[in-house]
Structure 1
Amino acid sequence: MAAFSNSITRLFNIQYPLVQAGMVWASGWRLASAVSNAGGLGLIGSGSMYPDVLREHIRACKQATSEPFGVNVPLLYPDIDKHIQIIIEEGVRIVFTSAGNPKTWTPLLKEKGITVVHVVSSAKFARKSQEAGVDAVVAEGFEAGGHNGREETTSMVLIPMVADAVEIPVIAAGGIGSGRAMAAAFALGADGVQVGSRFVATPEASSHMNFKEAVVSAGEGDTMLSLKKLTPVRLLKNAFYDAVRAAELQGASPEELALLLGRGRAKLGMFEGRLEEGELEIGQVSAMIKDIQPAADIVQEIWEEFNEVRRQLHNL
């Protein structure tokens, strides 16, 4: 099939309209550079990084790839001003923001010539992001891992609503881990896809092997959205999830849930591999992940399956 070109490949100057999500404790420079070298867009997940660590990862990524890559910045984390300054100083050309108001940093980033994408969970916030001047939005459905929308809108419903609501390119996320899902997202109006959970199960992901093996072992129904009184997050069921669930059923206040969550809970589970006490953020698509594979193989597999589905649909 001929070379693929659309609004997303041109926006990022990449080969395939496929973005690797910037996930805390999983998306360091090794994963980002591997995906970028394979033809997608790799993202460094800055949410789990101190400012000086982010700088190290950006510089290492520059050494590992000559292809475009970006940084994901969750706006709810501390030191965001320092992260933004480092991104500008280090000459990063693409930034994905999430979990906050896109109006806060988009004007400055755009002034510096940086391409800005914001993650949304509703058509309403997609329109607000467009008004804020972002170049594209990620429409992330309820199936996604990590921090999620309170609306609980599934990707099947969210993607076409967002595609109808804005004129800028739409990147679909949430439940996408295969070429079939990528083709479905395009049928719903997306211009590209963002894949998260599938890239956790790679040698290049910086998360602990215990967590990677737990993802591969996950079955249908093994993740749930929880902590909605704080910031909704999809978690793999474990002892910590059970404690959160019990507290929620007893009517725990946001303050009580925050106390239960404590500090460093995600690091404990995903980075240190303590599977029962830690917070294990992963998407529903984990039930479909059966192997730990190199990131480049995943990119190629998704792309080949996407093209095969395109051929099949063309022949209907």
Structure 2
Amino acid sequence: MNRITQLFNIEYPIIQAGMIWASGYKLASAVSNAGGLGLIGAGSMYPDVLREHIQKCKKATNKPFGVNVPMLYPNIEEIMDIIVEEGVKIVFTSAGNPKTWTPFLKEHGITVVHVVSSVKFALKAQEAGVDAVVAEGFEAGGHNGREETTTFTLIPMVKEQLQIPLIAAGGIATGRGMLAAMVLGADGVQVGSRFVASVESSSHDNFKKTVIETKDGDTQLTLKELAPVRLVKNKFFNDVMELYKESPTIEDLKTLLGRARAKKGMFEGDLEEGELEIGQIAGLIHDIKPAAEIVKEIITDFEAAKREAVSL
């Protein structure tokens, strides 16, 4: 058993990222049933919707699953109370200070993991008492670190200084990517973009099709003044680029972004005006398939790559 399978009591050290508008209970339970760790993405859910997804997930799997909570959330107290009330055993926190909620969650016997984008924040998370850290390189989709450190350099740098288990994220969609991350020092991997293009993902079919058509160079990190986010280059992205030519203020950027832009793109399928968040690895994703098949494919590919590496 490795440190991550042991920590979460799962079969494979594969965690499905908690992604807004993509990871409801259907995806989380499917990944957990397949031997990984499924996460419900609370970032796009009102408190009552999250409660419903947790309850449905408990019915859909008897395996461990967790909830991902971006701490910028306006209803954060209510969200944390629901997590405790519903008996969730694993919480991944992101976008905030781990000291704020880790003690509360640990008091309730919850395993806590924090997502970081630098060595500095990995060490702060360890100090705050989390059980493991996800170190995410800037290849990742969605909201991202300002440092723009790639996964390939971030993982060994974090590993060098961290005592607790380390999960690699950003640009990992295959078993070969998983092996590379683990050779560099990760104990497990968190996979996001690959699971967006799954049957059980709650994203709109238009968005899923866009993901499998995306090639290298089709995404870019932008809106760093608000919160860096990796987007597909569509009409909305081009509008952002045009606005940058005018040296916009933060207010100008906020006005253009408006509200519910990510929902419009990823959940409602508006490919022109919506915000389409996906990782650079989308160029390697060519089909939409059930989550269980994706997990199986990653493990098969991982084992094959390991055998090949031994013969080098």
Q: TM-score, normalised to structure 1's length? A: 0.98
Match of 1:25 in 2: 21
**Quick one: distance in 2 between partners of 1:174 and 1:257?**
26
For 1:268, give the aligned amino acid.
K
Q: For 2:79, which of 72, 78, 83 is the aligned residue? A: 83
Q: CA deviation at 1:314?
A: 2.0
Moved over 2 A (4+): none
156-165 or 31-40, which moves further after superposition?
156-165
1:203 is the counterpart of 2:199: yes
Q: For 1:148, which of 127, 144, 148 is the aligned residue? A: 144
Match of 1:279 in 2: 275
Unaligned runs of 5+ in 1: none
Q: Secondary structure at the match of 1:177?
A: coil
**Quick one: distance in 2 between partners of 1:91 and 1:246?**
47
Unaligned runs of 5+ in 2: none
Match of 1:305 in 2: 301
Q: CA deviation at 1:311?
A: 1.5
Q: CA deviation at 1:7?
A: 0.4
Root-mean-square deviation (Å): 0.6
Q: Deviations over 1:186-243 (max 9, x none)?
A: 0110000000000000110001000000001111100000100000000011010011
Q: Deviations over 1:257-285 (max 9, x none)?
A: 11111100000000000110000010000
For 2:198, give the aligned amino acid.
T
**Quick one: distance in 2 between partners of 1:76 and 1:280?**
20
Q: Deviations over 1:155-193 (max 9, x none)?
A: 011011111121000000000000000000001100000
**Quick one: distance in 1 between partners of 2:74 and 2:257?**
17
Identical counterparts, % of pairs = 68
**Quick one: distance in 2 between partners of 1:77 and 1:212?**
26
**Quick one: distance in 1 between partners of 2:271 and 2:213?**
13
**Quick one: distance in 1 between partners of 2:250 and 2:19?**
24
Match of 2:225 in 1: 229
1:104 is the counterpart of 2:100: yes
Match of 1:260 in 2: 256
Match of 2:115 in 1: 119
Q: CA deviation at 1:250?
A: 2.2
Q: CA deviation at 1:245?
A: 1.4
**Quick one: distance in 2 between partners of 1:254 and 1:229?**
7
For 2:51, give the aligned amino acid.
R
**Quick one: distance in 2 between partners of 1:78 and 1:13?**
32
Q: Deviations over 1:79-137 (max 9, x none)?
A: 11111110000000000000110000000000000000000000000000000000000
Match of 1:53 in 2: 49
Match of 1:212 in 2: 208
**Quick one: distance in 2 between partners of 1:253 and 1:186?**
42
1:157 is the counterpart of 2:114: no
**Quick one: distance in 2 between partners of 1:127 and 1:17?**
22
Q: Secondary structure at the match of 1:104?
A: helix
Q: CA deviation at 1:246?
A: 1.6
Q: TM-score, normalised to structure 2's length? A: 0.99
**Quick one: distance in 2 between partners of 1:53 and 1:223?**
30
**Quick one: distance in 2 between partners of 1:252 and 1:158?**
32
How many residue pairs were aligned? 312
Match of 1:35 in 2: 31
1:130 is the counterpart of 2:130: no
**Quick one: distance in 2 between partners of 1:267 and 1:125?**
29
Q: Secondary structure at the match of 2:99?
A: coil
**Quick one: distance in 2 between partners of 1:54 and 1:182?**
30
For 1:288, give the aligned amino acid.
L
Match of 1:251 in 2: 247
For 2:288, give the aligned amino acid.
I
**Quick one: distance in 2 between partners of 1:88 and 1:250?**
47
For 2:233, give the aligned amino acid.
K
